[in-house]
Amino acid sequence: MLYFLQISSVTGILAIAAAIGLVTTRKASGSPHQTRVKRTQHGSSELRMAATGALFIVILVAAIIGARTTYAMMSGQVATITGYGINAQQYGWLYMLDLLDRDTPSDTVVVAWWDYGYWISVGAHRPTLADGATINSTQIRMLAEFYTATSEDEAVKILEKLHLKPDKTLIFIHDNALYDPKNGDLAYVIGLAGFPSIDIAKSWAMLHIAGKDKIGFTVGNDKYKQTIIYKMFASAPYSFGDVGTVFPQKYLQLVGTKTIESVTLFGEKTKPIEFKHFKPYKVIISFYTDSKGRLLAVNYGGNIYYLVQVLILYKWIG
């Protein structure tokens, strides 16, 4: 729809230019014979000019309306950075990039799936392992193997092969969720309420690139629940009381001093996991709003859940 409106605006401008050219051409192409004809057809000529003027005004108004509508739509949208789109505003990513830029040493490396590489390296000025221009398939395969590792020791060995260092390495994952601050419940939205998933859905590709789909791993099954990415998603929100923050900050009163007591993933309640080599560094709950700044919420199971994005950073501690 946005593309159509933009094209309509351009088309309108071109049509206006064509109309002006038509009028100018008629004015500049007079000959003695044509002059005599115009004298006898003065009324019809004026009618054509009036019609051309009216058409000009109609096209101009349409172009202005199209341009204004396009501007309004574009100004009401948030940048889509991961290939998914929701017709709402959500600025957690910008907050996280600013946090990384301000609060981490400049040599901190952020381990993230490859299509976030540019955003982090440009927006937070922190190095990543891969981005959209990475042609080293080995690098991307090692990222996939890290996220789908079934033990911490396996994951650490991969980080060491990538020449990363403890306390200088953060691991990033994020996804959409429904959040009930009143009861401290958070439910990831994969397959829930029609909202799109992000990294949990992308773990299909991670399993495939790592070759684990060939040995029985699939998103949501018991083997998948042994992977690092699942465990981090399942466990990190329980640390919200210690390392969590809300964005925008004006919605902090919705959360108050409550911690997240229950996390649901694939329809099952998860439990906190004690990691040996990783610890939660930051858990950001970012609220989605509409273009007027109103929170987006759904009634699910008789409770009011807000649509949020959960951005998670773990630190490799050695």
Q: CA 107 to CA 29: how far, in whole Å?
A: 71
Please give the mean pLDDT across all residues of the chain: 80
What was the pLDDT predicted at 43? Answer: 56
In this prediction, residues 136-151 reach a mean pLDDT of 95
Task: Give the CA angle between residues 147, 152, 156 to the nearest 5°.
Answer: 80
What was the pLDDT predicted at 136? Answer: 80
What was the pLDDT predicted at 314? Answer: 99
What was the pLDDT predicted at 45? Answer: 60
pTM: 0.73
What was the pLDDT predicted at 2? Answer: 27
pLDDT level of residue 100 (50, 70, 90 thresholds): very high
Considering Cα of 99, then 102, then 104, then 110, what sign does the dihedral take? positive
In this prediction, residues 211-240 reach a mean pLDDT of 97
Domain ranges of the chain: 2-75, 92-316
What was the pLDDT predicted at 52? Answer: 60
What was the pLDDT predicted at 316? Answer: 99
Lowest mean pLDDT among 160-164, 180-184, 206-210: 180-184
Q: CA 136 to CA 219: how far, in whole Å?
A: 25
Residue 111 or 68, more confident: 111
pLDDT reading at 299 higher than 80: yes
The amino acid at 75: S
pLDDT level of residue 222 (50, 70, 90 thresholds): very high
